[in-house]
Amino acid sequence: MRAVVVSQWGGPEVLTETEIERPVPGLNEILVRVHAAGVNPVDGKTRASGGLITWGETPIVGWDVSGTVEAVGPGVTLYSPGDEVYGMPHFPRQAGGYAEYVVGPARHFARKPASLDHVGAAALPLAALTAWQALVDTAGVTAGQRVLVHAAAGGVGHLAVQIAKARGAYVIGTASAGKHELVRELGADEVIDYRTADFEDVVTDVDIVIDSLGGEHGQRSLKVLKPGGHLVTLPSPDDVPAAGAEGVHTGWTLVEPDFRGLVEIAALVEAGKLRPVIDTVLPLAQASKAHEIVEQGRTTGKIVLTVA
């Protein structure tokens, strides 16, 4: 099968298309023919240094995939060959998403939302599960709460805005002025231009902050949280500030495979409450170009590679 492998840890140019052996599904696993693969910032970070991940004999980055079930291993009853699925297998271990075929546990996938094509579905798993697990599982967002989403037009941010809104929250997003219209279309009640205003000067009484930027944003975000509020930090545990006000919850959330979360996300898509915004679509052979775009840090929504 075709795959884009990491020839050595380094810049986008180390991504090389080659032929490798097709994987075989084992117990409780499925083999998925990949139609599209999502590209995320973590792909580039791990490609650059290998990170803390245990890699296979042939390092292949990528976790977001959407495709059709090619074969099922012993014990699998959820799916049959031909079923359309999407998912984020094995994260944070190697999944090998930049390839024609991927193997993973059956419950690391869910049925693809019928209203999305494979490109749209491949844009969802990692970013949408990150937003879902941060907002719902970690912070317990409820109707009427005030939620601040940093980088609200980004890969995680634009989905977090929609999920928070679907749960009945009042949503505030930060974004550059040119992206305000999109963020409002996605459901934000307020949008702040981070280039012309400091969010902590104009926002108060927030229940939940989703911080996908890190750095100084965590410490600044503590100033806008209510006592008992949640600051969910996504980039790194090093970006988590010490709790400020009494009762404020701070912590780092690392996304994990989540069958039930994927089912809930698909239900939101089918209900018209969640849609992925696609910034750029490129063929698998141009994975290095996709990484160059992601690393510029100005992407609106997601970048997706077409495979099949």
Mean pLDDT along residues 2-15: 97
The 3-state secondary structure of the chain, one letter per residue = CEEEEECCCCCHHHEEEEECCCCCCCCCEEEEEEEEEEECHHHHHHHHHCCCCCCCCCCCCCCCEEEEEEEECCCCCCCCCCCEEEECCCCCCCCCCCECEEEEEHHHEEECCCCCCHHHHHCCHHHHHHHHHHHHHHCCCCCCCEEEECCCCCCCHHHHHHHHHHCCCEEEEEECHHHHHHHHHCCCCEEEECCCCCHHHHCCCEEEEEECCCCHHHHHHHHHEEEEEEEEECCCHHHCCCCCCCCCEEEECCCCCCHHHHHHHHHHHHCCCCCCCEEEEEEHHHHHHHHHHHCCCCCCCEEEEECC
Confidence label for 297 from pLDDT (cuts 50, 70 and 90): confident
Q: Taking 80 as the threshold, does the pLDDT of residue 243 lie above it?
A: no
Share of the chain above pLDDT 90, in %: 95
- Residue 100 is predicted with a pLDDT of 98
Confidence label for 206 from pLDDT (cuts 50, 70 and 90): very high
Mean pLDDT along residues 247-257: 93
Structure confidence by residue, pLDDT tens digits, 40-70: 999 999 999 998 788 988 999 999 999 999 9
- Residue 154 is predicted with a pLDDT of 96
Confidence label for 298 from pLDDT (cuts 50, 70 and 90): confident
Q: Taking 90 as the threshold, does the pLDDT of residue 245 lie above it?
A: no
Q: Taking 70 as the threshold, does the pLDDT of residue 244 lie above it?
A: no
Structure confidence by residue, pLDDT tens digits, 126-179: 999 999 999 999 999 999 999 999 999 999 999 999 999 999 999 999 999 999
Structure confidence by residue, pLDDT tens digits, 78-101: 999 999 999 999 999 999 999 999
Global pTM reads: 0.97
- Residue 108 is predicted with a pLDDT of 98
Q: What average pLDDT is seen over the chain? A: 96
Mean pLDDT along residues 201-213: 96
Structure confidence by residue, pLDDT tens digits, 266-296: 999 999 999 999 999 999 999 999 999 999 9
